[in-house]
Amino acid sequence: MPTTSPFYHFPSPAKLNLFLHIVGRRDDGYHELETAFQFLAHGDDIAIRVSTKREVSLITPLIGVSNEDNLIVKAAKLLQETTKTTLGADIKINKVLPMGGGLGGGSSNAATVLLALNLLWKTQLSYQKLAELGLSLGADVPIFIHGFAAFAQGIGEKLTPITPEECYYLVSKPDCSISTQTVFTAKDLPRNTAKLLATLSINEIDINQCHNDCQTLVIKQYPKVANLLAWLVEYAPSQMTGTGACIFSRFASEQEAKRVQALLPLDIQSFVTKGLNKSPLHQALTAIEAEVNH
């Protein structure tokens, strides 16, 4: 085998929390959730080539994040240690997802690296094992590993497949970044929403009637989020995803979503995309596996 392989490109998609109910708090400080995840046809691009040196090199460091703290590097090293592979990797990321937006960018990056290197290093771990590894990096990593839209319980790791409508979304972000840790440690965060599954089956849950328990807290503390949300709800059903700061607005057509996007204030970051019930990463993995094994 040569010292280096070609670079292979893997999508690292965003996710939405279509709702987020906090139903309790565990003794270890983690929160018990009920939420629905859906993927977006929009995300970062991660390029990886295998190296015979047992080093993980992130060629494109992110501003404000040391390589050692980056979930990309942590995921690669975790897989190395777990599988005892003698191989390494050179990794590049084209980062388009905003940090502190609630779109799961860091978790998605970690999952993409675990799945991609499991393929390229031929370490052959199951999705279940990769999800367990990923959970140690972040609560949202397993959803990206498994790659199907899901109703999630626990801290987000107990997943049941669902098929919400794959509609078009306008995703907007004001000029602020929100720390997930800050939101989840806030004293006045609601932590006792009634469990949906205590009285309903998954098929009976109307996602559009659910809410985000973090939203009230965030709009009190971040006026820019409050103002953007108030503006967007005039045009379409709109809600914060995760702990924010991104807000998603639901539309029946791409054309209508882009019409409202064009009206947004100039200081608002935004994109229009489609909701997906299967992760684009998993479609790419199938194609690259065929190429690698050719």
Choose, from 44, 90, 140, 213, the residue flagged as catalytic.
Answer: 140
3-state secondary structure of 290: helix
3-state secondary structure of 278: strand
The candidate with the shortest Cα–Cα distance to 176, out of 130, 142, 221, 144, is 221
Contacts of 11 (CB under 8 A, 6+ apart): 43, 44, 45, 46, 112, 280, 281, 284
**Distance between CA 274 and CA 101 in Å, rounded?**
18
How many CB atoms neighbour CB 212 within 10 A?
A: 23
Provide, for the chain, the percentages of residues in helix, strand and coil under a 3-state DSSP scheme, each rounded to the nearest 5: 35, 30, 40
The candidate with the shortest Cα–Cα distance to 113, out of 156, 159, 78, is 78
- For residue 245, the 8-state DSSP code is S
**Distance spanning both ends of the chain, measured CA to CA:** 15
Is 15 among the residues known to form the active site?
yes
Choose, from 15, 44, 74, 213, the residue flagged as catalytic.
Answer: 15
Please list the alpha-helical segments (H only) found in the chain: 71-83, 105-120, 127-135, 141-146, 180-184, 215-221, 223-232, 254-261, 280-292
**242, amino acid identity:** G
**Distance between CA 179 and CA 201 in Å, rounded?**
33
Instruction: Give the residue numbers annotated as catalytic, written as ranges.
Output: 15, 140
